[in-house]
Amino acid sequence: MQTMSDHRPGLQIADSASAAAPIDSDGVAVRDECASTWSYTVSVRELCEFSAKRGDLDRRFTPSATALEGIMGQNTVARRRGPDYESEIALAGICGPLRVRGRADGYDPRRLCLEEVKTICGRADDVPENRRQLHWAQLETYGALFCRERQLAVVSLALVYFDVASQSEVELRQVFGAAELEQAFERRCAFFQDWAQQEATHRRARDAALNDLAFPQPGFRTGQRELAEAVYRAAVHGRCLLAQAPTGIGKTVGTLFPLLRAMPGQGIDKITYLTCKGTGRLAAFEALDDLRGGTAGRALRVLEMVAKKQACEHPDKACNGDACPLARGFYDRLPGARVDAVAQGWLDASAQRDIALRHGICPYHLGQDLVRWADVLVGDVHHLFDPNGQLWGLMQALDWKLAVLVDEAHNLVERTRRMYSAELPLLSVRDAARSAPAAVRPALEGLLQAAQQMVTDAAAAHAVLKSVPKAFVQALQNGAVALSEHFRRQPLAVGPLLDFHFDLQRFAWLVDGLSEHSLFELRTLAGQAGDCDVALGVRNVVPAGFLRPRFKSLHSITLFSATLSPPGHAIDLLGLPDNTAWLDVPPPFPAQHLKVQVADFSTRYGDRVGSLQRLLDVITGQFDTHPGNYLAFFSSFDYLEQAAGQLAAQRPDIAQWRQDRRMGAGARQEFLACFGPQGQGIGFAVLGGVFAEGVDLPGARLIGAFIATLGLPPVSVTQDQMRARLQQLFGADRGYADLVPALHKVVQAAGRVLRSPEDRGWLWLLDDRYRRDDVAALLPRWWGIG
């Protein structure tokens, strides 16, 4: 499919399919050979959002329907209209250099009425005026395109608000002449045309620059070219790739470079680089800075996707013009900020904030707008995979061709499990009921009583229920509805009750969708003052059901990490496509550079006291024979403290430093600073913690590691139930509940030792279970165990 150049470390494209070609998708330039000829395809939604929004930003609380509720609501409306009703009508039209397209929700031929259905939770009167104007702009644009296609002189347009709770409709209906709709359509297109021409010019320059992009380093490292080729092939064929690649080969640039090279030929709208931990984003920005510097005119827009908590300047104020000065007149000042931002091109969090405050608008919502105009997005995985992830919503609405890279992908199962899990402590319900206004208090007290009754019936400190009592479900719905009605009437309210409301809405949504992919549990929480609380929880076990549609909608996705074996773990639990490709890149250094040894004693929980001295003898023996800096990993802080304390008493001559439970950023930096190039000592850390992955201590800064235990999760009712559920879904125990994630942590921790092909070091696995066949099979073959 492609050949590699011997004279230049760039990907040379051999087949015509990858050559730059006219592209036709939303927000994409389609050009002729003549540079003066251009056109631009834009969706109806994007055209209207650009041209019709004016005045304040208004994010007052209005209960919104989920995507699934929206689909079901539209289907309900369609069924009510009768057998002649036309649904999902594809429309497109040309206006000068613009090609505008979209899908109208439906047409009722009996009434000669084109409809736009908006699914809501609540009353149509509560939809903010600026949002209602946007809805009308979209419907009028569909009306203009519809009149063109059907050659109508007049049409009736109906904006239908469908309330999912009451299943009722509110219809706002007007009759328009085709000429009137055409004039409004032409005005919107004229407003957008200058920006569209700028974007077409940018796309042309970007694609030309990426076609000539050279690899930013003198040559490929061992294994890096193999990774780059696989990522490129996945992009060309529109597939999912699982790539297990060891530390030291340069995975970040080795995945970004080939995807950028594939971008023009495959018509990819955006590349998204997602990480499970913040440290990975720093490496992505460093690589992108080098790659962007290799494009003519630095013709690549790079945007950091920032969470609202990090970007909001006024967290104590409601998000609308009546409360927040940065929301007032937001859409009037947004165009100027947008122009400055795309001209700058490099848009990390700091740059977004500077531009936004210079124009007097909200940095967070500026960043949300700029997602549409950036080429490469860098952010956390929640932007795509969370139920409310912005990328998922925009990709669906604007029909983007999105190519995704997921770094540290071994963490994705656990991260997405948390995204589809929620907990409701009874103490929080009690506090909310006490602080709630009189109209809301009875519903919350009813919820508290239903929850307490459920706890009494369970009669256990920790229980997993086979089903959720109907009385509790009804009380939960009542509480959620009462709070929704309250905040509908009090749109400027902020504070703990609003936070509780959002938590309750999320919990209710998960309870409503409870299935075999999740557990419903009750567990006792110990309070700081010795008191106890009980928490109700929805704990996701298999996020595949939620994620599968997202993977299917992507053009391509590469998930990469040093620890993804066995591939079935990610494929089954994440819901990856059946044709997912697997790549296992060999290490870039000889196996003898890492001497791996297994200690023949047990560090199981019941054996730890008896084996502690033997464990310390291994550590001190290794240190005395080969002095230098080491990391010692333990499965818990208690175990860590036992070992470090006894070592300090026996060998005060050996310097040591310890991870503690509440380390801030400064303390973490101090911990890592102890690993000096000329240093000698032992750093004690927790397996699976912040120092077990994403830490780079090359050369003499770290020469070895000790890993005590297998890092298996503690025994608990929940763990037993998760194991049983996974066995039920996937057959015989494959270690998905415990052994596979535990050994991922082990391999990640071990990966701190060799950071480059020149490094050499020692690895001690401190437990006899590492010799078991099932354990050895999940460890790197080049370690030579088993």
Tell me the pLDDT tens digit for each residue of 330-353: 999 999 999 999 999 999 999 999
Q: Does the pLDDT value for residue 371 go beyond 90? A: yes
Residue 14: band (very low, low, confident or very high) from pLDDT cuts 50, 70, 90: very low
Cα dist from 781 to 243, 577, 744, 771, whole Å: 16, 27, 14, 13
| C-beta separation of 220 from 9 below 8 A | yes
Helices 496-512 and 426-435, interaxial angle, to 10°?
Answer: 130
Q: Which two tokens stand for residue 241?
A: 């790739």
Of 526 and 269, the one with more pLDDT: 269
For 302, the enclosing helix (H) or strand (E) is: strand 302-304
pLDDT of residue 617: 98
Within 8 A by CB and 6+ apart from 693, the residues are 277, 408, 748, 749, 751, 752
- Report which DSSP code applies to 587: P
> Average model confidence (pLDDT) for the chain?
90
pLDDT of residue 593: 94
For residues 145-171, average pLDDT: 92
Q: Does the pLDDT value for residue 66 go beyond 70? A: no
- Nearest of 227, 224, 284 to residue 249 by alpha carbon: 224
Of 292 and 72, the one with more pLDDT: 292
Angle at alpha carbon of residue 731, lines to 727 and 733, rounded to 5°: 55
pLDDT of residue 527: 57
Of 515 and 166, the one with more pLDDT: 515
417-421, 436-440, 691-695: range with lowest mean pLDDT: 691-695
Q: Does the pLDDT value for residue 109 go beyond 50? A: yes
User: Torsions phi, psi of 335, nearest 5?
Assistant: -55, -40
CA-atom Rg of the chain in angstroms? 29
- H helices present in 246-307, as ranges: 251-266, 279-293
Residue 115 CA to residue 157 CA, distance in Å, equals: 6
Residue 492: band (very low, low, confident or very high) from pLDDT cuts 50, 70, 90: low
pLDDT of residue 5: 31
Residue 756: band (very low, low, confident or very high) from pLDDT cuts 50, 70, 90: confident
pLDDT of residue 379: 96
pLDDT of residue 27: 42
Q: Which residues pair with 685 in a beta bridge?
A: 633
pTM of the predicted model as reported, rounded to 2 decimal places: 0.89
Residue 487 CA to residue 121 CA, distance in Å, equals: 12
Residue type, 159: L
Pair type for strands 422-425 and 532-540: antiparallel
DSSP secondary structure letters along 98-125: EEEEEEEEEEETTTTEEEEEEEESS-GG
pLDDT of residue 531: 57
User: CA 493: distance to chain centroid?
Assistant: 29
Of 26 and 183, the one with more pLDDT: 183
For tokens 């557990």, what's the residue? 519
Residue 393: band (very low, low, confident or very high) from pLDDT cuts 50, 70, 90: confident
| C-beta separation of 399 from 515 below 8 A | no
- Nearest of 696, 701, 699 to residue 758 by alpha carbon: 699
Note the pLDDT tens digit of each residue in 535-545: 999 999 999 99
58-72, 262-276, 300-314: range with lowest mean pLDDT: 58-72
pLDDT of residue 32: 37
Residue 9: band (very low, low, confident or very high) from pLDDT cuts 50, 70, 90: very low
For residues 30-43, average pLDDT: 64
Question: With b meaning 16 or more CB within 10 Å and e meaning fewer, what string describes 267-278?
Answer: bbbbbbbbbbee
For residues 17-44, average pLDDT: 52
Angle at alpha carbon of residue 537, lines to 535 and 538, rounded to 5°: 175
For residues 163-167, average pLDDT: 82
- H helices present in 34-128, as ranges: 44-52, 67-81
User: CA 587: distance to chain centroid?
Assistant: 29
Preceding peptide of 566 cis, ω within 30°: yes
Torsion of CA 95, 96, 99, 102, to 10 degrees: -20
- Nearest of 5, 439, 469, 494 to residue 215 by alpha carbon: 5
Note the pLDDT tens digit of each residue in 710-754: 999 988 888 999 999 999 999 877 899 999 999 999 999 999 999
Pair type for strands 98-108 and 38-43: parallel
Residue 75: band (very low, low, confident or very high) from pLDDT cuts 50, 70, 90: confident
Question: Which strands form 532-540's sheet, in the order they lie side by side?
Answer: 422-425, 532-540, 518-526, 462-465
- Report which DSSP code applies to 768: G
52-61, 324-333, 513-522: range with lowest mean pLDDT: 52-61
pLDDT of residue 383: 95
| C-beta separation of 483 from 122 below 8 A | no
Residue 10: band (very low, low, confident or very high) from pLDDT cuts 50, 70, 90: very low
Note the pLDDT tens digit of each residue in 174-219: 999 999 999 999 999 999 999 999 999 999 999 999 999 999 999 9
For residues 636-662, average pLDDT: 96
Of 622 and 695, the one with more pLDDT: 622
- Nearest of 511, 519, 518, 522 to residue 457 by alpha carbon: 522
For residues 355-376, average pLDDT: 97
pLDDT of residue 61: 56
